[in-house]
Structure 1
Amino acid sequence: MTLWVLRNNRYTAALIRLWESIMILSMTGFARKETSDTWGTLSLEIKAVNHRYLETWFRLPDSLRMAEIPLRERIKKKLSRGKVEVQVRFSPQAQTTNQLSVNTQLVHDLNQAIEQIKAIIPQSSNVNPLNILQWPGVVAEQALDPEQLQAELFKLLDSALDDLLAHRAREGAELAQAIEERLQLISTIVAEVRTRLPEIIEEQRTNLKTKVSELIEQIDPQRLEQEIVLLAQKIDVAEELDRLDAHVQETRHVLTQKGSVGRRLDFLMQEFNREANTLSSKSILAETTKKAVDLKVYIEQMREQIQNIE
């Protein structure tokens, strides 16, 4: 069976309504933000890939190492699953680190001390101003405000997280569409098997009678019919078809839920597989066996997509 059925007008309206209500997020995404000011240039890159739990990893300059814990907490508020890598680069402006700050009060005090020395020792030579600059505490590099720099980093992270979430939402919608296509294919298979179920059971009955007749010349027809009825009950797949329909509806429901739904969807794929395996084991006809194989293919395709859902 191919995907062409999904393009049929019967499904278009339903698909549109589903996409409008999509809430799921992919676990992969990337965002980069940068800001500049008189103190320098600060850039942040955040990359996320699928992971069973939320795992954060940071590469920070030494001047911002103290911000790691608050950064981790901010990420936890917006992301639930995924391996998240954050890399921060800081390039201070040259004039910021090289600008000198003169302690004028200390220079004034030194000048007074020099004048006192001259009064005692008149022959002392004039003092070179460069020597004054070398006096401890007279000049110092202007220090950056760490709180201001950290505040800028937090704003940068929040903006990058917004972009990352938008990226994950777009990918989530694509994943949901791929899953819905397979759900529709599964529903089509279930409907086809259910429609043909009486015919399949009758065909199985005929095949059994033929095989038994070939092996046994003398047999009680009434006893044979009883055995066939019991066997037909064992190979009846109506219950499995009902559960497959229920799993399709539950998966569609989960796709409209907010928050982390990946684990729930993964559990549903296990339930899908269980019913498909039972359908295959009960089948004694090539047609139903093929349908069971098709189901397993579509379920596995959904499972691969779901591995990337938060």
Structure 2
Amino acid sequence: MSTLRRSMTGYGAGTTETPDYRVVVEIKAVNQRFLEIVPHMPRAFGAWENDLRDVIRSRVARGKLDVYVNFEDHSEKRYEVHVNENLARAYYAALGKVAHAVDAPLNDGVRMAAAYEGVISVREDTDISGARAVFLDAAAQALEALDAMRLAEGAHIAHDFEKRL
């Protein structure tokens, strides 16, 4: 028989790395009547979920596929530090009242006030739009590996089946 048979179960992984990003996509497939894609990926990749589904649908017709995505961002970041001056003054005043109430000096009061939540906040530039192509390439590699495993397992099952006939 020359018909290519594929197993319904399998595993494939793909990794794509650039100077800025490293993405690893792993796909685990099990038998299921219809196609069900269950992505487990970083929240920042949510906008690309439909792209992932389209890539998978172009290669797989049925089964349950768990897709795990690991993302490392090595890009140079920009940070914005913000000081909530009103909150800092309020904390410092409160610390002064505590020091006065216990008749103690307000040593390191500024540092203590700055340590409270919300006084100093840091916002990181989170633009990872350049990672989309890296992500989809890793997904394509994982699908390629999954398909190869399913073909190998399918050939093994077909051979075993024919041997038993």
TM-score range (shorter-chain normalised) is 0.5 to 0.7
Q: Is the 8 A contact 1:26 1:168 kept in 2?
A: yes
Please name the residue that 2:127 is paired with. Answer: 144
Partner SS, residue 80 of structure 1:
coil
Which residue identity does 1:22 align to in structure 2? T
Partner SS, residue 7 of structure 2:
coil
The answer for unaligned runs of 5 or more in structure 1 is 1-17, 102-139, 185-310
| CA deviation profile, 1:204-236 (whole Å, cap 9, x unmatched) | xxxxxxxxxxxxxxxxxxxxxxxxxxxxxxxxx
How far apart, CA to CA, are the structure 1 residues paired with 2:39 and 2:3?
Answer: 31
Please name the residue that 1:67 is paired with. Answer: 48
| CA deviation profile, 1:142-201 (whole Å, cap 9, x unmatched) | 55341x21111111111111111010000000111122123x3xxxxxxxxxxxxxxxxx
Matched, 1:96 2:110: no
Aligned identity (percent) is: 32
Which residue identity does 2:127 align to in structure 1? L
Please name the residue that 2:143 is paired with. Answer: 161
Q: Is the 8 A contact 1:22 1:176 kept in 2?
A: no
Matched, 1:27 2:25: no
Please name the residue that 1:82 is paired with. Answer: 63
Q: Is the 8 A contact 1:56 1:83 kept in 2?
A: yes
| CA deviation profile, 1:231-256 (whole Å, cap 9, x unmatched) | xxxxxxxxxxxxxxxxxxxxxxxxxx
Report the Cα offset of residue 35 of structure 1: 2.3
Partner SS, residue 58 of structure 2:
helix
How far apart, CA to CA, are the structure 1 residues paired with 2:142 and 2:49?
Answer: 16
* Among candidates 133, 136, 160, match of residue 178 of structure 1: 160
Q: Is the 8 A contact 2:40 2:68 kept in 1?
A: yes
Please name the residue that 1:303 is paired with. Answer: none
How far apart, CA to CA, are the structure 1 residues paired with 2:73 and 2:135?
Answer: 14
How far apart, CA to CA, are the structure 2 residues paired with 1:22 and 1:32?
Answer: 26
Report 1 or 2 for greater relative contact order, CA contacts < 8 Å, sequence distance ≥ 6.
2
How far apart, CA to CA, are the structure 2 residues paired with 1:90 and 1:159?
Answer: 15
- More helix by proportion, 1 or 2? 1
Q: How does 1:82-231 map to 2 (within 5 A)?
A: 82-93=63-74, 96-97=76-77, 99=78, 143-146=126-129, 148-182=130-164, 184=165
Report the Cα offset of residue 46 of structure 1: 0.7
Please name the residue that 2:17 is paired with. Answer: 36
Partner SS, residue 78 of structure 1:
coil
Q: Is the 8 A contact 1:29 1:164 kept in 2?
A: yes
Q: Is the 8 A contact 1:22 1:173 kept in 2?
A: no
Q: Is the 8 A contact 2:16 2:135 kept in 1?
A: no
How far apart, CA to CA, are the structure 2 residues paired with 1:169 and 1:70?
Answer: 25
Alignment RMSD: 2.0
- More strand by proportion, 1 or 2? 2
Matched, 1:53 2:16: no
How far apart, CA to CA, are the structure 2 residues paired with 1:141 and 1:68?
Answer: 23
The answer for unaligned runs of 5 or more in structure 2 is 81-122
Please name the residue that 1:215 is paired with. Answer: none
Q: Is the 8 A contact 1:38 1:96 kept in 2?
A: no
Which residue identity does 1:88 align to in structure 2? V
Q: Is the 8 A contact 1:33 1:45 kept in 2?
A: yes
